[in-house]
Each structure stands twice: as structure tokens, then as C-alpha cells.
Amino acid sequence: MDKSRLEEIRSRFQEEMQTELDSQAVYELRKRYLDRKAGLVSGLMKGMRDIPAAERAEYGESINRLKDWVVDHLGELEKKAKERELQKRYEQEKIDVTLPGKKIVRGNLHPTTLVRNEMIRVFSGMGFEVYEGTEIETDFYNFTALNTPKDHPARDMQDTFYLSDEFLLRTQTSSGQIHVMEKRKPPIKILSPGKVFRSDDDATHSPMFTQMEGLVVDRGITLCDLQGMLDQFVQKLFGAETKTRLRPSYFPFTEPSVEVDVSCFSCGGTGCKLCKGTGWIEILGAGVVNRKVLENCGICSDEYSGFAFGIGIERVAMLKYGINNIKLLFESDLRVLKQLRG
């Protein structure tokens, strides 16, 4: 009987288990000795054929003993490897609970968003719904339907970015008025916030800024309703003492048209730097919806009337936060934005 081969395997295993093995090495060791097909111990079984019948049983038994011995040791090795590895992980992942915590930097909403949200909140309380139009508009919705045909001098009031003869970047959220009036019949009470674009660039003007449009159409709506509503709005936005003042103005889509001033919320009306000594600050354009605009949208102007207004959101944010350059609202400079948390 070829016992020497058995002993050879046993002493080889003995030797191999002397070194410190990690789980991967133990796994490979197991494969090398016990793999059903290629394992060294399994290989011994294959040699059974050559053993004389009388010795086979004993030979088989010794292989099984060797196998059990290898299995036991592998188990032991595996346990030790796992323990060592766990220990290593504990050491690596050790945390010092006495270290000061990492500071989590909290972001805040942009001042333009804060003002926009505040306006929506106030107007929602008065029953306005939000309608958001598109930034690319047709000439028709931005101008023609708003009573500003191609050769109308009022087109010069807004330097327009044309994309083609037909398409442009909307210069005013007033285009939303037309979309809404085309789709819905009065009573209408909507608010339309969004970006608008004009080729204009200085300390108080930016080629892109945001406006908030308001439109109310129903039976018997007058300029008085506009003023009443604006009074409430500015009092909620700037404080209970704030008053409004309407000055005549011109927009092709409103008749009459007005420019709305609020009493200066910085000095209360006595005159200061913010209001340039006048006691009043201009905040929006508005007016009674021009009959022609109603008719353009298929709304009978004998039966219905309405008012509309458009507010520059950045302008209000600048006034509210005392910012003198509109660019500060677009530069995303954290040193500035951190100071304007609302």
C-alpha cells in the first residue's frame, strides 16, 4: 500500500499551514487539497483502483482520516484568518468620538426665489393661480396679440432678442396673458412668473431677469380693483404702513396704463437714499386690459373687463435687500448670497 503518498500530502499541508494565511489563501488551500476533481486528497481516491482488494478498505479509511484532518485544520485556519481580518477592520475603522464634528454647510434659497415665493404666497392668498409660460415665444404672443403690431413704436420700449422672423425670447411675461385668455373664459385670476430677456445691460438692468405677471378678467373689473389689490399686496410684502401711488403711463396692452409707486419702506416717505429723496419707489407697470387684447383672445369686451400688472422680481429683491447692482443677483458669489438669507 502506497502510504508514502498520503504522508507526503499530510506533511505538505502541515508545512503550508504554518504561514499566516488570509481567508483568500485558506480558500485556495482548500481548493488545492479538497477540490472534488483536482484536489490532492481527492486524487488519492482515484488511486484506489491500483490497490489490492484486501487492502482497499484500510487504505480508504486512511484517506478519510487524512481528509477529516485537513477539513478540521482548514476550519481552524479559516476561523483564525477571519478573526485577524475583523480585528484589522476594527482598527482601520476606528473612530474617535471625541473629534469635533464636521460642519454641515446649509444652503439657502436665492433672494430672487425668496421674493418670487413670497409674491406667489401673497397672491395665492387672494385666489390667484400660477401659470408658467415658455421662454421662447412667437412674435404674435409677445407683441402682436398684445396690441403691439410689427411697426408699432412701443416695440422699441423693449430691445428684443429675435431668434427668427417668427420666434424670439419673450421680453415680458405679458405673453402669458394671451395664452391664458385663449384657453380659458372669465373669470380669470392668474399669476405668471418667469424669465424674460431684453438686450439691456447696466447696473439696474440685465439681459435676463424675472417678472411676475398678474391678470384678472371678470365682469365689472376696474382700475379701483387693481389699486385695492395692490395696496394689500405691498402691505403684505413691505409692511402695513406701505401706500401705493398710481402715475399715468403707457403700455399698448392696457388702457389706461399706470406706473405704480410704493411709499419708501426705508424712510417711510420722508425721503432717503433708497427713494432718491422722493419718498416713493416705482415697483411695477399695470393697467386696465385694453379692449383690443380681450377681443384678440375672443373675450367680449362689452361684457368683460380686466386688469393686468407686471413686476420685476429682481427689482423688488434689490429694494428689499438693499442691493445696488442687479449683477450681484446673477453672479452666484457665495460671499454675497450668504448675507441674503431672507
Q: By C-alpha distance, which of 311, 338, 314 is closest to 326?
A: 314
- Single residue of 287, 297, 314, 318 touching ligand PHE by CB under 6 A: 287
The CA distance from 115 to 125, in Å, is 15
Q: How far is the CB of 251 from ligand PHE (least distance, A)?
A: 4
**Based on CB atoms, which residue is closest to ligand PHE, 44 or 226?**
226
User: What size, in residues, is the chain?
Assistant: 342
**Based on CB atoms, which residue is closest to ligand PHE, 44 or 174?**
174
Q: How far is the CB of 287 from ligand PHE (least distance, A)?
A: 5
Q: By C-alpha distance, which of 111, 125, 113 is closest to 233?
A: 125
Q: How many Cα atoms are found within 13 Å in the side-chain-facing hemisphere of 56?
A: 10
Window 174 to 233, contacts with ligand PHE (CB under 6 A): 174
- Single residue of 138, 148, 172, 263 touching ligand PHE by CB under 6 A: 172
87 alpha carbon, distance to own chain's centre: 43
The CA distance from 140 to 161, in Å, is 14
Nearest residue (beta carbon) to ligand PHE: 310
Q: How many C-beta neighbours within 10 Å does residue 186 have? A: 18
Q: Is residue 148 within the footprint of ligand PHE (CB under 6 A)?
A: no
- Single residue of 191, 285, 293, 328 touching ligand PHE by CB under 6 A: 285
Question: Per-residue x/- marks for ligand PHE, 246-275, CB under 6 A?
Answer: -----x--x---------------------
Output the CA angle 232-260-211, nearest 5 degrees: 85
Residue 114 corresponds to which cell in the numbers above?
A: 425668496
Q: How far is CA 164 from CA 60, 136, 148, 168, in A?
A: 93, 11, 18, 7
Q: Is residue 111 within the footprint of ligand PHE (CB under 6 A)?
A: no
Q: Which amino acid is residue 90, in one-letter code?
A: Y
Q: What does the DSSP 8-state code read for residue 269?
A: T
Q: How far is the CB of 182 from ligand PHE (least distance, A)?
A: 17
For residue 8, give every residue at least 6 positions away whose Cβ sits within 8 Å of its Cβ, in sequence order, or none.
Answer: none
Q: How far is the CB of 206 from ligand PHE (least distance, A)?
A: 14
Q: Is residue 326 within the footprint of ligand PHE (CB under 6 A)?
A: no
The residue range among 63-71, 239-247, 284-292, 296-304 that interacts with ligand PHE, by the rule CB under 6 A, is 284-292
- Single residue of 66, 216, 283, 286 touching ligand PHE by CB under 6 A: 286
Q: How far is the CB of 339 from ligand PHE (least distance, A)?
A: 29
Contact residues: ligand PHE, CB under 6 A: 172, 174, 251, 254, 285-287, 308-310
